[in-house]
Amino acid sequence: MKLLRYGPAGQEKPGLLDSDGGIRDLSGVIPDLTGDALSPASLARLAALDPASLPRVEGNPRLGPPVTGMKNLVCIGLNYADHAAETGAPIPKEPIVFLKSLNALSGPNDDVIIPRGSVKTDWEVELAVIIGTRAKYVSEENALDHVAGYAVGNDVSEREWQAERGGAWDKGKGFDTFGPLGPWLVTKDEIPDPQNLSMFCDVDGVRQQDGSTRTMIFGVKQIIAYVSQCITLNPGDVIFTGTPPGVGLGKKPTPVFLKPGQVMRLGIQGLGEQQQRLVASA
């Protein structure tokens, strides 16, 4: 099942994608894709619906982030062995955890705003895990029981603010629009093995990242279990799980960064694609 949110920013309604690729309105069934709506019982009720019985949404509305109301937008850094190698960083002994500002969250096809004065804005296609039930001190064995589904994420990063301005990574990761998510949440029953998904990112039609979740250092189970030891994960919370090689920072001999007018297109096997245009900050 593919669940989504559509409509103007701040006024999105819940929906699902039918077998023909059309959007069906769920607002008469649930108020939004948040909290208890992501529980196993709620997802089972939604899966039992006949999409044809739901109002069809006409046209091509804007898609918002497929979940809302989260308390945490957690990210894992340097979580692909080949990405760590391209940046010259050692393999982490434990997951590197940081947070994105909730203001970074944006729709999958919304414009991405390059911050004022930025010359090092970068792309990062990532598998995003969406939590369905509260997770605190969970084991790896039970970690996936807390997952509602998966989505495509773009952990847009400003490398100067991330690494050259002192302090933690959060500053370079939390600018407005730096967390495109979607186009939809794909429930976990459709993704039996999150550790075997191909993924890509193109910039202006040129393939920059071409990777797989197989090269994760810490898999989804490990990440959820680890993060739950220090951050209570609530329904609707999102974890960006790291990026494969091919980011602009790692380009040799000279790093390459994003400029206004460029277009990013990225996707993950079974989870769909998203596309953003880069615009300069006002």
Question: Tens of pLDDT along 236-248?
Answer: 999 999 999 999 9
pLDDT at 164: 84
Note the pLDDT tens digit of each residue in 98-151. 999 999 999 999 999 999 999 999 999 999 999 999 999 999 999 999 999 999
Calculate what percentage of the chain has a pLDDT beyond 90: 91
Q: pLDDT band at 83, cuts 50/70/90?
A: confident
Q: What is the overall mean pLDDT for the chain? A: 96
Strands (E) in the chain, as ranges, are 2-6, 13-17, 23-25, 56-57, 63-64, 73-77, 96-99, 105-106, 112-114, 121-122, 125-131, 147-154, 157-158, 179-180, 185-187, 198-203, 206-212, 238-240, 263-268, 272-280
pLDDT at 84: 80
Q: pLDDT band at 85, cuts 50/70/90?
A: confident
Phi, psi of 183 (to 5 degrees): -80, -20
Note the pLDDT tens digit of each residue in 164-183. 887 778 888 999 999 999 99
